[in-house]
Structure 1
């Protein structure tokens, strides 16, 4: 959004509460959505000894600047995954993620999960996917939050595994699964090797939402555009480093799922003021703020808006536009989108908010 498109400052000078700003949440990982209190409770129940970084020093101090740093991050993630043992645990995680988003003003959530990480414990990938989708329907009914699932492959595993997951995702297209992603350390694997998996997902009509352009630079953004045909890019902030790549993102209308607190926690940027949200918006990019993994980064959806407001002195009109962009980029029913966009306008128009 250019400066010329923004409303005059006096139209949005008040600082409205961000937990009442309607938002869509497009970048939230399943295990990483767990509440810290829930992790502690389940770990105690199962006799799982948590690392100090998850027990006494939470949120953990993380960095992914090298393989050792990413290994530590992944180890903490794997420990958190290990405490989910029963169907009731899965349902609780999904319900609490929905409740947290509603508390933060969420109207729509696309939660991302890799069923292969849970299949062995829950009877297989199909059975686990059925469980998650049922939990999503249950949580949506209970909270009123619109919800859908993105199935994501792991780029540290063989591309054949990704194809199996793409076929699985395709079986559920139109039945709760709206997208197919590719996550984990983008420095691992060869992006082009996953092209066939994304072809499978594309033929099923799923949104293509791989990670890219966070730990690696703009060449990673180009790779997921060239080889995977990305509709949205998980993170994608490093597009700002190459004007040609950024121009390409803007021209294609590819949304960037920007997660400010995780960018700083993982060492992509030194501080929140360096996360280039205003620069991306000024260039015309679609930006949808996400929390990524609140369990590891300590901040949920409204916190992403709050950090960007504070770090960049964003006015309410700019924050409202961020919320609008999240709905425009979502794979949500059109009637819900229209209603949500009107609610954003109402938030901005309510000077008494």
Structure 2
């Protein structure tokens, strides 16, 4: 019997960055249209060979990301990116997407922080209507910028809570900004009813995860895989029901793990952690969400029942409305239900003439 398709498994995608969601073909097309020169790593040598475990490697990763962002120059480019991202999610079985954006990266081009957020929200309205994929927005602060900037973003995020903004995040190089410094911004976001979804435990170890958990009150942690190095911390994550947004292809692409098999998904599952698989930045890592589920099957030995549980964890860890959660969870149950073998049709005996 053919294995169940991971593309057909209903799921939510909770770890996808805005620019990083762009199709490679769209990047190349927009670069040509706007006269942006792309390095070979984003053209012929795509996906780029990356290693960000040292500052030089992270600088290269960030430089490629900034070049990719620079092709988004018009409102219609932003609309296109989000529509295509939603189309890709639908094709991979995702019924709910929480896409993360730092509006300060686009503000100078689109008239400021608030107009940028509203542009992305308008684009999400159109993308959801066109594809049927529910979309929530996570506003993310940048660790390399001042904590006061993060407070400004947190207030703007809360102001737009009634219009798709579901969470507040913290991204970029963990080594250049402690989670502790952004506690004030996250306090504003949590009081405003937003999920706390910082990155942690990717380039730094358990101490970074602990700050996200204890200081920022994380509901989910982006990556978080290094928590496996501290059993007491991992036990605390399990006890609190915090979801870890684990991105195997990204961990390999950035050199956090040598191979997909070295990402500690099986150890995290054995400890009882809730895991929502994510693709992080498909534009730079070359694979999308369904591939992460394929890796769970081939590299971590996950059974179909375990794949279904990963999908359920992504749905339950999301900010999707109750009706969307109910529909997606029912779809997971249906995906896992026994397949009835097809029965041959019996033909009536031929009549003698």
User: TM-score, normalised to structure 1's length?
Assistant: 0.95
Structure 1 partner of 2:34: 46
Q: Distance in 2 between matches of 1:52 and 1:352?
A: 50
Query: Is residue 241 of structure 2 the alignment partner of residue 224 of structure 1?
Result: no
Q: Distance in 2 between matches of 1:282 and 1:227?
A: 26
Structure 1 partner of 2:230: 242
1:272 touches 1:308 (CA, 8 Å); kept in 2? no
Query: Is residue 159 of structure 2 the alignment partner of residue 171 of structure 1?
Result: yes
- Tell me by how many angstroms 1:225 deviates: 1.2
Equivalences for 1:319-334 in 2 at 5 Å?
A: 319-334=307-322
Structure 1 partner of 2:11: 23
Structure 1 partner of 2:113: 125
Structure 2 partner of 1:90: 78
- Tell me by how many angstroms 1:352 deviates: 5.9
Match of 2:278 among 286, 290, 313: 290
Specify the SS of the correspondent of 1:228: coil
Higher RCO structure (Cα 8 Å, ≥6 apart): 1
2:178 touches 2:208 (CA, 8 Å); kept in 1? no
1:14 touches 1:351 (CA, 8 Å); kept in 2? no
Structure 2 partner of 1:310: 298
Q: Distance in 1 between matches of 2:114 and 2:285?
A: 30
Match of 1:206 among 194, 208, 220: 194
Match of 1:116 among 104, 111, 125: 104
Q: Distance in 2 between matches of 1:241 and 1:14?
A: 37
- Tell me by how many angstroms 1:189 deviates: 1.4
- Specify every segment of 5 or more residues in structure 2 that has no aligned partner in the other structure, as ranges: 342-353
Deviations 1:14-42 (A, max 9, x none): 62011000010000000000000000000
Match of 1:161 among 130, 133, 149: 149
Q: Distance in 2 between matches of 1:213 and 1:47?
A: 38
Taking only aligned residues, the RMSD between alpha carbons, in angstroms, comes to: 1.1
Q: CA distance change for structure 1 residues 142 and 352 in 2, over 3 Å: closer, same or farther?
A: farther
Specify the SS of the correspondent of 1:50: coil
Specify the SS of the correspondent of 1:201: helix
User: TM-score, normalised to structure 2's length?
Assistant: 0.95
